[in-house]
Amino acid sequence: MDGEIDLELYTISMIRLNSIFQKIENNDIVTNIIPDIEDCFNDLNRLYESILNDLSQYEININEYDPFFENGM
């Protein structure tokens, strides 16, 4: 990722997560929710792996990620 967080993937993940919570609140059938959970998990895992990869590079400074981690929580 060249030291850049994939904000599009993060946004899509958050939208999916909100959709999952809405479906749970609406008492949707679990089998309809599970694929959404798997997709969200896969997206967040890709984002996590990308960040780990970036931070393992010598030229990347973890301080560049602080605003994302502080606001992403």
pLDDT of residue 2: 58
| Percentage of residues of the chain with pLDDT beyond 70 | 92
Classify each residue of 30-58 as buried b or exposed e, where b means 16 or more C-beta atoms within 10 Å of its C-beta.
eeebeeeeeebeebbeebeeebeebeeee
What does the DSSP assignment read for 9-62? Answer: HHHHHHHHHHHHHHHHHTT--HHHHHHHHHHHHHHHHHHHHHHHHHHHSTT--G
The per-residue pLDDT for range 50-73, each reduced to its tens digit, is: 888 888 887 777 777 777 777 765
pLDDT of residue 65: 75
**Mean pLDDT throughout 26-46?**
93
**Mean pLDDT throughout 5-33?**
92
Distance CA 20, CA 32 (A): 10
